[in-house]
Chain A
Amino acid sequence: MTATLQRPQPGRFAPRRPVLSRSAPNRPLLGSLGIIGLLALWEIAPRLGAVPERYFPPVSEVLTTLAQRATTAPFWEAIGHTLYGWALGLAIALAAAILIGFALGATPRLRAFTTSTVDFLRPIPSVALIPLAVLMYGTDIRSTLLLVVYACFWLIYIQVLYGVADVDPVAEQTARSYGLGRLARIRYVVWPTTLPYLMTGLRLAAAVGLILSITAQLIIGSPGIGAQITNAQQGGAVALVYAWIVATGILGVVINIGVRALERRVLRWHTSVRGEVAV
């Protein structure tokens, strides 16, 4: 396993924690100060008339509306719809990206054969598929899934390809000479190399998936937070529109914290998480 230590740090695309964040013990404090500052600005600006209060209510009003809504069942139903579309879409994208990524990554010829196709499909924005989704599935959850899976798949898939390509040839040869079979090499050599890349892809996809889950609901009207935002807009309930937007933001933070925790757990053996190993 010495070979593993000598190769360049895997995960060029994996999160590299800045030194500051590791040594600064006050990170949560700084984070909350930032939020408090933002909230104070949001409270003051409409009250001073810097922005019209009618169209941008102060944060206290928005949070009150949010708190009231949070006690009702439809609120949690909408959150549930959004999370369901997000989680299912992300899971499908993850499974497909791992399967196809490992298969194609391990077969250089096949990979070369598909590269141009992937480069062609990858930049197509998911929202451009909305007319297609509407025609095929209407306002169904499948419309949401189509957008989420399409966007998330490429993010994870490309990372998996990078990861599989980053396998150290020496380690690979060593494993071969020790008589490890194909599956064992994937398990003990390719998988650990790819995992940090995979987690980066997953973290990016988790955020993008939430955005697209809500976008689909906003534009197509599939049930969830996005549809609630449209409904509030159509009714001229401005504070409620912002309450839903704040709820979306909170959801995003929660998801990010969750994925980071998962990442730390899954990669606890890895230098980028262990930290104490100088590379």
Chain B
Amino acid sequence: MTATKTTLGVLAAGAALTLTATACGSGDTAASEDGLTPVSVGVLPITAVAPLYLGVEQGFFSERGLDVTIETGGGGATTVPRVVSGELDFAFGNLASLIIAREQGLPLTVVANGMTTTGDADTDYSALVVPADSDVTDPADLDGATVAIDNLNNIGDTSVRNSVRVAGGDPTDLDFIELAFPDMPGALDNGQVDAAWVVEPFLTVALQQGATQIAGNFVDLHPELSIATYFTSDELIAQDPDTVDAFTEAMNESLAYAEDNPEETTQILTAYTEIDPDLFDQLRWPRFPARIDTEAVQTLAELMAADGIIDADPDLETLIR
């Protein structure tokens, strides 16, 4: 009997030991010492989130009572569940992912714009490119080609198919493969793919190595397309609408500031990215308007429905707050 008792005691102690490391919940929204409400924002360390860093630095968030913690971990695959679970308050994600998430019934709502295409293929920060020695000069020639995108069934394949269609080609035989953006210039270089959809800074890297741009896939989709946005959970909106309002206002001011101060926007990159400073001058940027063009969102959703990524007639009424 004693033996069993000791064993149980030891077991309990062991379990307790492993559990202490896992206890203490998250998502506490109590005000910090200086009276600010702590909010966490999940982003990727990419150029497109420069306005957020700039806004925090300029004090646009603290002026509105928010103490922002920026967490640069993982992409949409981890930020979406973290926002749903309330472990992150806000996150940056592409619009297509959010349309899909809503379609699946996830309670997420867009609260601010993230970035918008420039509407000009020659300056947009995203493009469809082919290797230096390629005979392809037009998206219509891509019939049957292997195209690298960063995520299947998302904004990449939808916009590339659209660009092929716009150019008069047939996108049905396109062979999409998933590659991380950092790996795309290399894959183009050694001929692993016939074309790639790349965004900055890898667009500049690819172009410097002789890759040729054949389309601006976001521009082709809609000249006012919001590509990524900041979103939150419906639960936070219901519980603490003031904090969400404050975030939206601060984010809008940050976007406007970034548009007005391109120099500072470029400089803030050194604070959170490892982009080679030599590339800074050549990097292409998106635009940062505060407004989200609903007609463009509708166009994107219709294309996604046509591709079968979401059901037809998605409900976009409640997507944007």
Contacts and interface: CB of A to CB of B under 8 A. Distances in A.
Contacts of A102: 10
Interface in B198-224: 201-202, 205, 209
A96 B15 CA distance: 8
Contact of B190 (A52, A103, A139): A52
B209 to A, nearest CB: 7
A164 interface: no
A235 B82 contact: no
A96 B12 CA distance: 10
B78 A134 contact: yes
B21 A149 contact: yes
Interface string B157-190: 0000000000000000000000011100110011
Interface in A46-99: 52, 54-55, 88, 92, 95-96, 99
Which of B14, B201, B202 has the most C-beta atoms of chain A within 10 angstroms of its own C-beta?
Answer: B14
Interface residues of A, number: 41
A135 B81 contact: yes
Contacts of B190: 52
B81 A134 contact: yes
A92 B71 contact: no
Interface string A216-239: 000111100001001111111100
A137 B87 CA distance: 8
Contacts of A210: none
A110 B7 contact: yes
Contacts of A55: 185-186, 189
A236 B74 contact: no
B7 A103 contact: yes
Contact of A220 (B10, B18, B73, B202): B73
A131 B81 contact: yes
Interface stretch (B97-105, B229-237, B245-253, B270-278): B270-278
Contacts of B56: none
A140 B26 contact: yes
A136 B6 CA distance: 32
Interface in A9-38: none
B274 A231 contact: yes
Given A100-B10, A234-B273, A237-B276, A221 B26 contact: no
B279 A221 contact: no
B85 interface: yes
A135 B21 contact: no
B81 A219 contact: no
A173 interface: no
Given A234-B44, A234-B273, A240-B274, A107 B14 contact: no
B312 interface: no
Interface in B14-50: 14, 17-18, 21-22, 26, 44-46
A240 B276 CA distance: 10
Contacts of B185: 54-55, 236
12 contacts: A52-B189, A95-B17, A100-B11, A131-B81, A142-B22, A146-B22, A227-B73, A231-B272, A234-B45, A235-B273, A236-B201, A237-B275
Interface of B: 3-4, 6-7, 10-11, 13-14, 17-18, 21-22, 26, 44-46, 71-74, 78, 81-82, 85, 87-88, 180-182, 185-186, 189-190, 201-202, 205, 209, 272-276, 279
